Amino acid sequence: MTTVDTVVHAIAFACPTGTSRTYELRPADPTTPLPAFEAGAHVDVHLGPTLIRQYSLLNSPQDSDRYLICVRRDDGGRGGSAAMHQDITVGQRLRVSTPRNLFPLLPAKRYVLVAGGIGITPLLSMADELAARGVDFTLHHYASAAAEAPLLERIRNSAFTDRVHPHRSDEGDSIRTALPAELSSPDPSALVYICGPDGFMRHVTDTATAAGWQPGQLHIERFTPAAREPDPATDGEFRVRVASTGDSYPVPAETTIAEVLATHGVEVELSCEQGMCGACLTPVLAGEPDHRDEVQTDEERAANTQITICCSRSRSAELVLGL
Ligand code: FES
């Protein structure tokens, strides 16, 4: 994975309670611009040798001199957000991956952007991009209360502030009581981009689908993997073969392909280790994967040419990997 050295240029509260903070990252070498990014992209932030977290870029893709991320502290989480809030200070160097986009803006005449809480981050970058292109869009931002709503100042100072519709649960305006009216009837010329907690995204997609929106019009980005039921057909042992050496190894239940390969000295690239980032996508030369990632499209999964080795398994007795 290609990485870039940055310096933390500024840290600021992103909401009055301080539970969300923005981090402005600039190139460590000011003479070298940061790699370009598209709206919807994220970077992997390297917080430690085994602590790597993905954060969406929320600034305009036109910015070549900075990456802006926002982190909501979650003390019940896996430690990434707590480390960002506790350990990262202004002036500190921070290694990040080059931006990767698993949530790209596809062509459409109109867009409806629907954010739950901190899920607004990639949608702000999209809003900047759409406003710059002169494309029609609206942005709905749901939050429990105004004091908890992140990035209000960023919205107020944007070129698209009049297109943003705030919704606050403590004012009786939650996603369960008030889905955006424009989602109540499908518009074939529009695409809908949704980002927020799992239950929020499920509710929006279920309700919009029931109203007649087509699955291809609804795009979501997850922060955490979807819950899955145990599958006795694929939870058990299978074998994995490394094409370049011919070596074949068993992958026991409860063990990932990546862990087995690493144990045998095969170099693997990992980041989120949850099927969320795509860093570990590996070519499949033979066999049928049991895809358990949130990264690939339905078409890519059906093609069975790549597998996320951090979490996916096998439907066939053996997988041959292009390593
Ligand atoms: S390491 Fe992120 S998808 Fe596998």
88 and 121 belong to one structural domain: no
Q: Quick check: 171 pLDDT over 70?
A: yes
Tell me if 280 sits within 8 A of 291, measured CB to CB: no
**First and final CA of the chain: distance in angstroms?**
15
Residues 6+ apart with CB under 8 A from 149: 15, 117, 141, 143, 166, 168
87 and 115 belong to one structural domain: no
How far apart are the CA of 31 and the centre of ligand 1, in A?
A: 32
115 and 198 belong to one structural domain: yes
Q: Quick check: 222 pLDDT over 80?
A: no
Whether residue 227 lies inside any domain: the answer is no
Q: Give the residue-averaged pLDDT of 139-161.
A: 94
How far apart are the CA of 236 and the centre of ligand 1, in A?
A: 21
15 and 86 belong to one structural domain: yes
Q: Give the residue-averaged pLDDT of 285-309.
A: 91
Whether residue 160 lies inside any domain: the answer is yes
196 and 254 belong to one structural domain: no
Domain count, the chain: 3
- In percent, how much of the chain has pLDDT > 90? 75
Domain C-terminal end among 40, 65, 97 = 97
Whether residue 103 lies inside any domain: the answer is no
- Residue 234: how many other CB atoms lie within 10 Å: 17
62 and 132 belong to one structural domain: no
Q: Which domain holds residue 41?
A: 3-97
Whether residue 233 lies inside any domain: the answer is no
Domain C-terminal end among 195, 221, 247 = 221
188 and 264 belong to one structural domain: no
Any ligand 1 atom below 6 A from CB of 221: no
User: What is the length of the chain?
Assistant: 323
Atom of ligand 1 nearest to the CA of 277: 2
Q: What is the pLDDT of residues 118-130, one digit of tens each?
A: 999 999 999 999 9
Helix (H, G, I), strand (E, B) or coil at 319: strand
Atom of ligand 1 nearest to the CA of 271: 1
Q: What is the pLDDT of residues 31-43, one digit of tens each?
A: 999 999 999 999 9
Greatest Cα-to-Cα distance within the chain, rounded to the nearest angstrom: 62
208 and 166 belong to one structural domain: yes
Indicate the DSSP class of residue 309.
Answer: T
Whether residue 177 lies inside any domain: the answer is yes
Q: Quick check: 1 pLDDT over 70?
A: no
Any ligand 1 atom below 6 A from CB of 310: yes
- In percent, how much of the chain has pLDDT > 70? 98
Q: Residue 161 — φ and ψ, nearest 5°?
A: -55, -30
How far apart are the CA of 213 and the centre of ligand 1, in A?
A: 30
Whether residue 307 lies inside any domain: the answer is yes
Whether residue 102 lies inside any domain: the answer is no
Residues 6+ apart with CB under 8 A from 255: none
* 17 against 178, higher pLDDT: 17
Atom of ligand 1 nearest to the CA of 54: 2
Whether residue 294 lies inside any domain: the answer is yes
Unique residue bearing structure tokens 């910015």: 63
The per-residue pLDDT for 129 is 97
**Residue 208's CATH number:** 3.40.50.80
How far apart are the CA of 301 and the centre of ligand 1, in A?
A: 15
Indicate the DSSP class of residue 256.
Answer: -
| Sequence letter at residue 221 | E
Q: Quick check: 304 pLDDT over 70?
A: yes
| Sequence letter at residue 321 | L
How far apart are the CA of 10 and the centre of ligand 1, in A?
A: 29
* 106 against 179, higher pLDDT: 106
Element (H, E) at 260: helix 257-263
Atom of ligand 1 nearest to the CA of 269: 1
How far apart are the CA of 43 and the centre of ligand 1, in A?
A: 13
Helix (H, G, I), strand (E, B) or coil at 186: coil
Mutational test site, ligand 1, from 224, 261, 269, 310, max ligand atoms within 8 Å of CB: 310
200 and 264 belong to one structural domain: no
Any ligand 1 atom below 6 A from CB of 279: yes
Unique residue bearing structure tokens 């279920």: 206
Domain C-terminal end among 97, 122, 152 = 97
90 and 126 belong to one structural domain: no
Tell me if 281 sits within 8 A of 307, measured CB to CB: yes
pTM of the predicted model as reported, rounded to 2 decimal places? 0.82
Atom of ligand 1 nearest to the CA of 270: 1
* 269 against 163, higher pLDDT: 163
Tell me if 115 sits within 8 A of 123, measured CB to CB: yes
**Residue 62's CATH number:** 2.40.30.10
196 and 281 belong to one structural domain: no
**Residue 271's CATH number:** 3.10.20.30
- Residue 245: how many other CB atoms lie within 10 Å: 10
Q: Quick check: 50 pLDDT over 80?
A: no
Q: Give the residue-averaged pLDDT of 97-112.
A: 94
How far apart are the CA of 317 and the centre of ligand 1, in A?
A: 23
Any ligand 1 atom below 6 A from CB of 295: yes
The per-residue pLDDT for 63 is 94
123 and 210 belong to one structural domain: yes
How far apart are the CA of 281 and the centre of ligand 1, in A?
A: 7
Any ligand 1 atom below 6 A from CB of 158: no
